[in-house]
Amino acid sequence: MMYLELFTTFFFIGMLNIGGGYAMLSLIQNEVVIVHGWLSETTFTDIVAISQMTPGPIGINSATYTGYQAIANTGASEFMSILGAFTATFAVVLPSFIIVLLLCKVYEKWRNHYMFQGVMAGLKPATLGLIGTAMLTLATPENFIDWKSFVICIAAFLALYFKKAGVFTIIGLGALVGLLVY
């Protein structure tokens, strides 16, 4: 039964996802922490951090780790927890796969139509809103422990925005500063 709940929850999240993984995080957080209570807020924050550090899309990585942890928290075996990870990952990807298949069929016919262009223009602000919600959801005391964390975050942003520093440079320097400061 838990696998069916995982599948339907992440299939629903995958259906509503517009804008990528960061936009998906607020939906995942709401479903797995608040609605179902499968994870604590702290565990979810840890999952997001791990998802950011591992290769691949953050939304899919979060679904994978969440599926694993939700089943593991029930006391299930390692194999059953891996099955939970697979279930959540498959469910969150399946709607996008289906939609892309359908869109490929009709894109050539409708790409120059004014209504299609209007829908695409309307999705841009919706995507920005979902990403902003994810940012606000993750800006918790667990992520910004004290003023030093906030200063490191601002310094990373300034280096990225004004100095055009590379992402890997910022991650490496952020890790080094974090090790030295904490």
pLDDT in tens, 86-124: 999 999 999 989 988 888 888 778 888 888 888 888 888
Interval 28-44 mean pLDDT: 90
Output the CA torsion 171→173→175→176 (10° steps). Answer: 160
With beta carbons less than 8 A apart as the criterion, state whether 62 and 23 touch.
no
Interval 27-36 mean pLDDT: 90
Interval 59-81 mean pLDDT: 91
C-alpha distance from residue 109 to each of 14, 98, 105, 115, 119 (Å):
26, 18, 8, 12, 15
pTM tops 0.75: no
Cα–Cα distance measured from residue 108 to residue 112, given in angstroms and rounded to the nearest whole number: 8
pLDDT tens by residue, 147-157: 887 788 888 88
> Two tokens at 16?
């509503």
The top-scoring range by mean pLDDT among 12-21, 59-68, 111-120, 124-133 is 59-68
- Predicted pLDDT of residue 104: 85
> Two tokens at 140?
């918790």
Interval 4-16 mean pLDDT: 92
Q: Which position has the higher pLDDT, 35 or 149?
A: 35
Q: Give the chain's radius of gyration (CA, Å).
A: 19
